[in-house]
Amino acid sequence: MGKVSLAAGFESFSETWSPRLAAELNGQAVKLARLDGEFVWHSHPDADELFWVIEGGPLDIEFREEPTETLRPGELLVVPAGVEHRPVAAEPAKVALFEPAGTENTGDAGDTGDDRTNAVTELETGVSRGANTR
């Protein structure tokens, strides 16, 4: 058990679209990510995904079959499993993500062949782990 500073976590990396693992609990991962520009269209067939804008943005979550949702700091949105979406940050945004541990950031789009397909790495500041993830 240990606390994680979001501010220190975001300060520990500068890469965009490269999530960092901040904590794990009950089979879920809490990730921090810097977003800037457009991501790829994708879905997570078996996993809901939560986007929580901490700072910056706004962050648009575009959907193929639903209206775009715009998130500002302090706002969050859960994208249900199987729903195709694309995050777009017209301005840099610091975002927390909640999703099942092991979820790939590009979902069913797989390897995009660019720097947007990234494995999750642990924060340099340490990772807080719940009882069921040790």
Distance separating alpha carbons of residues 105 and 32, to the nearest angstrom:
12
| β-bridge mates for residue 93, sequence order | 35, 56
Q: How far apart are the first and last CA of the chain?
A: 10
Which is it for strands 20-25 and 128-129: parallel, antiparallel or unpaired?
Answer: parallel
Given a contact cutoff of 8 angstroms between Cβ atoms, the answer to whether 79 and 49 are in contact is yes
Per-residue confidence in pLDDT tens, the chain, 134 aa: 688 999 999 999 999 998 999 999 999 999 999 999 999 898 989 999 999 999 999 999 999 989 999 999 999 999 999 999 999 999 999 999 999 987 776 656 555 555 555 566 777 666 655 544 43
- Amino acid type, 2: G
This prediction's pTM: 0.84
